[in-house]
Amino acid sequence: MSVRPLVILPDTQLRLISKPVTGADKEIRTLIEDMFETMYDAPGIGLAAIQVGAPVRAVTVDVSKREDKQEPLALLNPEIVWRSEEMREMEEGCLSIPEYYEAVERPDRIRVKYRDLDFKEHEIEADGILATCLQHEVDHLNGVLFIDYLSKLKRDRVMKKFAKQAKLRSEEA
């Protein structure tokens, strides 16, 4: 297992639509292990494969509190099959948009169909922080970022800030 470098805004990879996983082979299992390692190291509660430069439909999540036992969940080809009409606003952040947080409104409850690391199909219903996290990560697989839910003004400010930081990093390199 190893910590992989994170893809950071404004990198255009974050806008790619990830391809379906066709099986849980050794390569996918290694990717998932590295994603957990990267997610815990960051630290974060969710990570989409595209955030470590792998454009495949794979997600890792663990919304357990840091002092509690870890509850890692790996989802291959996750698909939201149902959303509640009730909405909930939660503050979100993203490992690919470091140190930026904003309130986003999303459905409070969802149902997700996915495959596990044995490529068996499952369906789970989630609410609260798990529902928010899963929606955030599935969005990543579709090239959508949480800042896309913000006003154009806020989104443009964030993009400008991260473009400036990227330019400074490239000048230093």
Residues annotated as catalytic (active site), given as ranges? 137
Token reading at 15: 């806008």
Residue from 73, 44, 77 nearest 61 by CA: 73
Rounded Cα gap, residues 42 and 23, in angstroms: 27
Cβ pair 70, 81 in contact under 8 A: no
CA distance 138 to 78: 7
Query: Tokens for 65?
Result: 């509190």
> Nearest Cα to 118, choosing from 80, 76, 71?
76
Q: How far apart are CA 148 and CA 92, in angstroms?
A: 12
